Amino acid sequence: MSPLIHVDPLHPQVELISQAARILHAGGLVAFPTETVYGLGANALEANAVEKIFKVKRRPSYNPLIVHVNDVAAALPLVRRWPADAEKLGDAFWPGPLTMVLPKRKEVPNIVTAGLDSVALRVPAHPVALALLELSKLPVAAPSANRSTQLSPTTAQHVEKSLGDEVDIILDGGATILGIESTVVDLTGNRPVLLRPGIISCEELQSILGDIDVPEKTIQEIAPRLSPGMLDRHYAPHASMVLFDPEKLGGVRDIIEKEQAKGGIVGALLLTSFDLPLQHPIPMPLNPLSYARLLYASLHSLDDLGCTQILVEKIPNGPAWAAISDRLKRASRQG
């Protein structure tokens, strides 16, 4: 029997959310929608429950989890320090797609934080997620509800396809609004550091905080991450993915012909209409917010169509496209 239950995304039914809250208190797993992607949640204060997340996702232990809370008051008991920068960002962006990394209290199990002395916190901006947090009265550790390194889910059906009945309940609140993961900023040091780009841009953060460091150095593959989303290969479809420059279509045709010659199926995400022998081209919008909303869903669709190769047209440069560029580069790297 499918664990998927339909929930009103704007006015979630109390009895259904209460059922999910009871599962969290019993140490179970609940998949639920946020405004970014669907999360796979467990009681963040119960190490055995959190361990189930890592097992179900096949997630490496050095990749920490984001802890979801329903407001600043619920965040404060989890951290040793709440700096002025956290207060400013919370006022500006919570609830919303911003995660802050802060010094943790001992009550937060080490398994949540990859053994680091910091915890990533976020207040989601989705009625179903907030209802679950408020009714359960628990901090909920919740990475994306998919196998590790694979495409993030933006619908409950994506969760069901990836994780099946390994989740106790999937709250189906429809498609997510934003479509890619939260921006992550590290506030543990003297200066804020952008760890993962997201819908909230570096420029927006700078308008609140001033200068922000953006590290370029790659972390060793097995070293603990300060934040989720820092693996070299991440957010990847099953198909091999190639980013291409529209001014170099000769090479693109060669890729298509070689793939099809060996029986492969080629799909693409395109900003421009090209005369290419593609089986499954998907037109994408030139607006970065609209592109982000459709990105994972489009890649899921191409996987479902059996594509063995996905070509992605180069996106525009600029801060508004930074988060999308990050996801595409990681998804196209070969593991």
Helix axes 202-209, 84-93, angle to 10 degrees: 130
Higher pLDDT, residue 143 or 216: 143
Helices (H) and strands (E) in the chain, counts: 10, 14
Pairing of strands 169-172, 140-141: unpaired
pLDDT one-digit tens code per residue, 72-103: 999 999 999 999 999 999 999 999 999 999 99
- At 111, give phi and psi (nearest 5°): -65, -30
As a whole number of angstroms, the distance between CA 29 and CA 324 comes to 29
**Residue 307 clears pLDDT 60, i.e. is over it:** yes
**Residue 201 clears pLDDT 90, i.e. is over it:** yes
Cβ proximity of 246 and 274 under 8 Å: yes
**Residue 177 clears pLDDT 90, i.e. is over it:** yes
pLDDT one-digit tens code per residue, 144-158: 999 988 899 999 999
Alpha-carbon dihedral sign for residues 131, 137, 141, 147: negative
**Residue 221 clears pLDDT 80, i.e. is over it:** no
Pure H helices in the chain: 14-25, 47-57, 72-75, 84-93, 127-136, 156-163, 202-209, 249-261, 288-304, 322-332
Domains of the chain listed by start with CATH number: 4-209 (3.90.870.10), 240-332 (3.40.50.11030)
Residues facing residue 43 across a β-bridge: 140
Residues facing residue 242 across a β-bridge: 311
